[in-house]
Amino acid sequence: MAADKPDPDYDLIIIGGGVNGAGIARDAALRGLHTCLLEKDDFCSATSRWSSRLIHGGLRYLEHFELGLVYESLHEREHLLKIAPHLVAPLQLMIPIYRGAKRGRWMIGAGMVLYDLLSMRKSLPRHQMLGLTDTVELAPGIRTEDLLGSAVYYDAQVTFAERLVLENILAAKSAGADVFSYSEVDRILSTDRRVQGVRYIDVASGNHKRVTSRVVVNAAGPWVDQVLKRLRRPVRQYIGGTKGTHIIVEQFPGAPDVACYLEAQSDGRPFFLIPWNGLLLIGTTDIRIEGDPSLASVEEREIQYLIGETCRVFPQAQLNPDKVLYTYTGVRPLPRRRTRDEGAITRRHIIKHHRRFARGFYSIIGGKLTTYRHLAEEMVDRIVRRLGINADPCATQTISLPGAMVARDEIVRLLESVAQLSEQSRKHLLDVYGSRCEAVLQIIRKQPGLATAICDHSHAVGAEIVFAFEQEMATNMRDCLQRRCMAGLSADQGRSALPRAIDIAQAHLGWSSERAAREQREYLGSLAAVVTHPAK
């Protein structure tokens, strides 16, 4: 008699720790599925963090008649405003209307009306059409030649997309999921055309490990095709990614008080100028890219394109490459399409079941930061049906993320009670952690010296370094500064914070001199991945 097969280690294994993978892990764990997530780098170390950081309905998708995607996005925006109000905030945007532009007053006005209709019962104000005077008041430095007026509407912004992903990871972990960063899957295990699990490399030790499950979800973003190759079978290519580059600059004379949705004169593409993190974020480009997404880099022509188009609308900006603080680029995991118009490629997600090769193995193709929660709900619904289990219905649209578990007013009062903190540091802690800053304050109460700011730009404090490593799964200083306390997204990319953070790690986390020196080299080396012009 054949021996019974051992039970699998997990119900579900997720490959990829970006926003989609994190969202699926949270939803699955909350519904009682025994879940494992594996990420080859740190959580939110790629596409999810290199976006325009908008939670939006996708106004331009109306031009491609993707009404369903816009409807989904607008309603997901409402959910995120409610479950993560500390991270996702309303953002006012202005669309200048110029005589002779590709998108005229009638087209923009009709789009605004439809946008409002698709977001009925929304919490944000409806659009307004402004004349020339009111437009210039919102954007004092705007070019007035041929300016007719503007449309003003609301979407939302997630200043720190890294924290949105991390809080989904933390919520998944709290609900029972096992989550592992720096764990690279190098083989998909299957038998008799059924998925069995994965083999992965623990990057720190170099050891191989195997974990089994009845379902595996490939949520590797632009690396989906690379993961599929680990099936060791010929599989078609699904991803046709495009590269999106942004530049970060200081506020310039005449800069708008609101975000601007602009039309490039050179090619008619829309791009954004967005107040962000005390700076201005300008982007994005949309360029096809082949090969390894890890090799995507910013091109000089992209920087010149964004500078030139910005200065055309805001002549007082007087931008040039030396005024760019830093840039970043990310690869959108879009479905492979033959169309020449990159903007016409759908941003809707696709769930592909590879039943011909490995039943129970799924890939996520495409998707948007805004709609990650709904994608996760759809994916977990399918998993539950496949497993034939009696799971609870999805509740992620109503359950707050960890940093929103306590009312904001209560956290403000708590921060004000800590006299050692500066006003700037209180605001920083509130904006980055929400109610999770209670745990940071507990560290300060034990070590009051850690209330001192370590970053001249973000006003992050020393206690956050200890918190990142002890309670937020940071493994190195890049994780800590760039994706936990967020000092790494300041004007100087964390350079002023780095030596102080390393001193704290030596004093409070037991780092050796050798590790401190290595961490400093590796952090500064990581900044070479983007074009940088260190802040003065």
Could you state, in chain order, the average pLDDT of each consecutive group of 10 residues for the chain (536 residues)?
70 98 98 98 95 93 88 96 98 96 90 93 94 96 97 98 98 98 97 96 97 98 95 84 94 95 92 97 92 92 97 96 96 79 72 94 95 98 96 96 96 96 98 98 97 97 98 98 98 97 98 98 85 48
Predicted pLDDT at 76: 97
Domain boundaries, the chain: 10-47+162-237+346-387, 87-158+241-333, 406-529
Angle ∠(508,511,514) on CA atoms, nearest 5: 155
- Torsion angle of the four alpha carbons 154, 266, 349, 203, in this order, in degrees rounded to the nearest 10: -100
204 burial (CB, 10 Å; 0-12 / 13-18 / 19+) is exposed
Residue pair 272/349 in contact (Cβ under 8 Å)? The answer is no
> What span, in angstroms and rounded, lies between the C-alpha atoms of 21 and 376?
8
Beta strand residue intervals within 354-499, DSSP E: 361-365
DSSP 297-339: ---HHHHHHHHHHHHHH-GGG---GGGEEEEEEEEE-PBP---
Looking at the domain 87-158+241-333, which fold is it?
Answer: D-Amino Acid Oxidase; Chain A, domain 2 (3.30.9)
- For the record, the structure tokens of 197 come out as 């699990």
**DSSP characters over 493-525:** TTTTHHHHHHHHHHHHS---HHHHHHHHHHHHH
With 0-12 / 13-18 / 19 or more C-beta atoms within 10 angstroms meaning exposed / middle / buried, residue 357 is: middle
Q: What is the CATH number of domain 10-47+162-237+346-387?
A: 3.50.50.60
H or E segment and range at residue 105? helix 105-118
Is the peptide bond preceding residue 285 cis, with omega within 30 degrees of 0? no
Type of residue found at 172: A
Q: 406-529 is classed in which CATH architecture?
A: Orthogonal Bundle (1.10)
* pLDDT at position 507: 98
Q: Which residues contact 132 (CB under 8 A, 6 or more apart)?
A: 144, 147, 148, 149
Tell me what pLDDT residue 153 has: 97
Contact call for residues 166 and 484 (beta carbons, < 8 A) = yes
pLDDT of amino acid 534:
45
| Distance separating alpha carbons of residues 348 and 178, to the nearest angstrom | 29
How far, rounded to the nearest angstrom, does the alpha carbon of residue 236 sit from its chain's CA centroid?
A: 28
Number of residues that make up the chain? 536
Is residue 363 within 8 A of residue 216, CB to CB? The reply is: no
